[in-house]
Amino acid sequence: MSRRRNYGFERRRREDLRKARQEAKQQRKTERDASGAAGPEMGEVQDAGAPEGRWEWFSPSRSRTVTTEPKTRPPDDPPNDWVLLTDVAEEKKEED
């Protein structure tokens, strides 16, 4: 195995690059602290729930989700292990 020339130079160069990355990271962190922003720039939060006016169901055995009309269940094909994911407000009972 041949010896590499300028080994010390390359090691110092890599160390300088590492220090520059660390300093840039520290500078970004202090800028975020000064501006009041938190974390990296990630964009808009996406809505992960069912569309408005629909119910979302999950089947563990099928590993999938399905949306249906309110107050209806997905087909009763075996296995019938659907779990309702949508938060459903309890309807107020009207008293006569």
Place of tokens 């660390």: 22
Tokens coding 6:
């300028």
Q: Where do the domains of the chain lie? A: 1-37, 55-84
Instruction: Convert the pLDDT of each residue in 76-95 to its tens digit.
Output: 888 889 998 887 765 433 44
Please list, in sequence order, all residues whose beta carbon lies within 8 angstroms of the beta carbon of residue 50, skipping any fewer than 6 positions away. Answer: 56, 67, 85, 86
The answer to whether residues 56 and 50 touch, using CB atoms and an 8 Å cutoff, is yes
Tokens coding 24:
């840039």
Give the sign of the dihedral formed by CA 45, CA 46, CA 50, CA 52: positive
The answer to whether residues 86 and 71 touch, using CB atoms and an 8 Å cutoff, is no
pLDDT of residue 26: 94
Instruction: Convert the pLDDT of each residue in 4-41 to its tens digit.
Output: 666 778 888 999 999 999 999 999 988 888 887 665 66
